[in-house]
Amino acid sequence: MTPSPIQLLQLYFKHVRVEIDPDHIPLEPPNPLTSVFLFDGISIQTEFGIGEAEPDHERGHMFLTTLRVIVDNKSLPKVKDQKFSPYKIDVAIDGVVAIPKGAEKLAPPEELAAVNGAALLWSAVREQVLSLTARMPAGSVMLPTVHFHDLKQKTPELADQAAGAQAEQTDAEKPKRPSLKRIR
């Protein structure tokens, strides 16, 4: 094992809200020894933001990253057989990601911080939700494992092609992708 050059130096939760959704609680509590609720088919919204905190730091580039994960269980009229979570979830987290000098040969530093920083923050949110729900009446829930490659920068030509392909999809077919905000 060797440490990753991309490091999450600090993280802190801005808010953590996990509550029973009375409209979607299971009739019988699940057996905690045999089941964990998975989010297959559940609408999960994410918002991700990034800003360079300290461009001339001795370790390289320092980025402030922020991630918000929301499961609000709102009905989506265009989605057939929509599934719902037994919990409503709203978690916001910030982190400081360090990209060392020389890493720009792999990818632009902001791209490295976005893709990897979002994944690192997601894992902290995932663990927090699992830990909290383990002591709640509808049983444990585990957010899915995800990737954030869609935060990679695109050339204008690729962005145009992707926008055209996405425009052809119905709302129900479109992948749930994080919205990106630049923090200034």
pLDDT digits (tens, 9 = 90+) for 68-118: 999 999 998 888 888 999 999 999 999 999 999 888 888 999 999 999 999
Residue 141 lies in a domain: yes
Domain assignment of residue 151, yes or no: yes
Asked if residue 163 belongs to a domain, the reply is: yes
Domain that holds residue 57: 7-182
Q: What is the CATH number of the domain that holds 93?
A: 3.10.420
Residue 2 in domain: no
The fraction of the chain above a pLDDT of 70, given in percent, is 82
Residue 1 lies in a domain: no
Number of domains in the chain: 1
Q: What is the pLDDT of residues 117-142, one digit of tens each?
A: 999 999 999 999 999 998 898 988 99
3-state SS of the chain is: CCCCCCEEEEEEEEEEEEEECCCCCCCCCCCCCCCCEECCCCCCEEEEEEEEEEEEECCEEEEEEEEEEEECCCCCCCCCCCCCCCEEEEEEEEEEEEEECCHHHCCCHHHHHHHHHHHHHHHHHHHHHHHHHCCCCCCCEECCCCCCHHHCCCCHHHHHHHHHHHHCCCCCCCCCCCEEEECC
